[in-house]
Amino acid sequence: MSSQQHYQRVAQAIEYIQRHFQHQPTLDDIAAHVHLSPAYFQRLFSEWAGTSPKKFLQYISVEHAKSILTSTASHSLLDATYDTGLSSGSRLHDLFIQIEGMTPAEYKQGGAGLKIFYSFAETLFGCILVASTPKGICTLTFVEQNEQALNELKAKFPHAEYIEQTDEMQQRALAVLTVQPNSIQHIKLHLKGSAFQLKVWESLLKIPAGQLASYRDVASQIEQPKAARAVGSAVAHNPVAFLIPCHRVIQASGVLGNYHWGTTRKTAMIGWESAQLYANVEEF
């Protein structure tokens, strides 16, 4: 089974679990829904998530999200000493990913003079389109149809030169989505965005893997505590999925909320990251 097929089965299971949460579906119920035997489904899900479906359900619960938000609220996202105590590398994400904003000339001219290299790949969370300029990654988006995703990219930079080719920066970005998130190498991002958007995206890099923040937390972090709604808009326009972890921003109530690439995928990411974080911890 390919990575894409693997994720699709897991996504179907997550959707079913969420829809029937109040009825507490059994392993047999979930396996039947995705047309697999209970034993095979248990093995498939555990290989993907690093934990059982039952434990995964705890990681994506509102109660667990609330407990993380409470913990996050007691720390500054910019605090260099901020550490979950469980994964010493998780707070180093922002040290390895740096954002450079495109110059006014670069994006006002529709990318004229830019060479954009792009490729498609399968990851833990579905198929992606990743694109880069000589300065860094400019897009990483989950796709359902390759041609449509490429057309959307070209609409953002209509005058750029496009070359289907994988480069080293793309390979580094892909590694984050296929191996442990803390084993990343230095990655540069070259992004089109307003000064406010870039500020929000940089702040998101401070949220460690397995942790969560509310829109209000992010607004306070960038010293604009009344701008939670504007922060939400900037989060929604993040052009680089997962590397800029907008999936870690949720509602203050603990509800995971919407996501540009689908609520199920956001849920899968949050649960998967928690599973990696707590892999060697018996209780949390």
Phi, psi of 123 (to 5 degrees): -135, 180
Rounded CA-CA distance 65/73 in Å is: 12
Question: Quick one: how far is CA 283 from the chain centroid?
Answer: 25
Under 8 Å CB-to-CB from 101, ≥6 apart: which residues? 191, 192, 193, 195, 198
Residue 76: the pLDDT is 57
pLDDT score of 219: 96
| C-alpha span between 275 and 207 (Å, rounded) | 17
- pLDDT under 50: residue ranges of the chain: 78, 80-92, 282-284
**Tell me: the pLDDT tens digits for 92-124?**
455 588 999 998 888 778 888 899 999 999 999
d(CA 125, CA 134): 26
Query: Could you tell me the residue ranges of all domains in the chain?
Result: 3-59, 80-260
Per residue in 52-87, pLDDT tens?
Answer: 888 898 899 899 999 988 876 655 554 543 444 434
246 catalytic per annotation: yes
pLDDT at 20: 83
CB atoms within 10 A of CB 265: 20
* Structure-token pair, residue 277: 């974080």
Q: Which residues contact 266 (CB under 8 A, 6 or more apart)?
A: 247, 256, 257, 258, 259
User: Which CATH code fits 80-260?
Assistant: 1.10.10.10
Q: How far apart are CA 266 and CA 283, in angstroms?
A: 24
Closest C-alpha to 144, from 167, 166, 125: 125
CA angle 195, 201, 204 (to 5 degrees): 145
Per DSSP bridges, beta strands 136-142 and 97-101 are: unpaired
- Nearest residue to 133 via CA among 108, 101, 155: 101
Q: Which CATH number fits domain 3-59: 1.10.1380.10, 1.10.10.10, 3.40.50.170, 1.10.10.60?
A: 1.10.10.60
Q: What is the pLDDT of residue 88?
A: 40
**48 close to 7: Cβ distance less than 8 angstroms:** yes
Query: Do 3-59 and 80-260 share a fold?
Result: yes
Judged by phi (left if over 0) then psi (alpha if -120 to 50, else beta), residue 82 lies in beta
97, 246, 270, 275: which is the annotated catalytic residue? 246
